[in-house]
Every structure is written in C-alpha cells, then in structure tokens.
Amino acid sequence: MISDDRFMDFFQRLMKYEGGYVNDPDDPGGETRYGISKRSYPDEDICNLTQTRAMEIYHADYYSKLRISEMKDDRVAWQIFDFGVNAGISRAARMVQRIVGSYPDGVIGKTTIAYINRYKGEFPLYIMYRSERVKYYCGLTDKNPRNIKFLKGWLLRALEV
C-alpha cells in the first residue's frame, strides 16, 4: 500500500482527468483506462485494469521516476507529475530542465532537483512550466488538427494549480 500523502492527493486529482475507460480512435495511446494506455503498457489488461493497479503504475513509473517527492513546491511538483503522465516523463523532465537551466537530458537527478528547489526566476516556476505546457499543447493541434478535440482538456490540466 502506498502511504505518501502527496502522491495520494495527486493521484486523486489525476483521476479527474484520467478516470474511466476510453478507446478513442484519434487518441494515439489507443485503449486507455485510468490514463494507462495499451500503447505504453501492452502487457496490461486495460479493459480490466483496477484503480489500485493504475495507482501502482503511476507511483512507480511517473511519481518516483520524476522524483516528485523531492520537490519542495507542491504546485511545481503537480505540474511536472501531471505533464509526465500526459506527455511522457522524459518530455516533462526536459521541459523543467530547460526552464531551470539544468542539462536537458530528460532524466531528473539530484542536480535537476537542486535547480528546481532553488529556482528564482522572474516568474514562479510553476507559472513558467504551465506556460510551456500550453505552448506544447497548442503546437500539437498545429501539427495535427484532429487534436483540437483534446485541447480544452489539456489546457484545463495545465492551468490547474
């Protein structure tokens, strides 16, 4: 059982966006339940995936790999976690690394955590990160007009604090 209060809060928030079963032909992830896609997890039985199993996946493959528990600011931690779930952990890591001036290798290590926790930019880090997320999502609709149907949901996610 997972006993990390921040993770449990983030997981519940995430379920507002990722809950339920979907098999949208326009979604590149394909068959999805609780935000866990068949494309990313081909060995999982997506149709019968339990919320408990989804929670285990999110904790191990997103929360822990992004080192969310080491980030001091909940707003920053939420933005990075949610974007990692929605767009991939490497992309989420590179985005924050570019903003804070860490080497953008797509892996959050102790150096990136230090840069995140001591960031002193013109605007707070969570606002800078949200701004970059919005640009990323708008760019996806430019590349593929069929993505426009997902834009509202993506923007609502990015703007949540």
Q: What is the pLDDT of residue 55?
A: 96
Q: Are 45 and 91 in a shared domain?
A: no
Kindly report the pTM of this predicted structure.
0.93
The per-residue pLDDT for 100 is 98
Number of structural domains in the chain: 2
22: containing domain? 1-64
The answer on 58 and 77 residing in a single domain is no
Task: Please give the pLDDT value at position 1.
Answer: 59
Same domain, 99 and 148: yes
Closest by alpha carbon to 60, among 119, 96, 7?
7
| 10-residue stretch averages of pLDDT, the chain, 161 residues long | 86 90 82 93 95 96 98 97 95 98 97 97 96 95 88 88 63
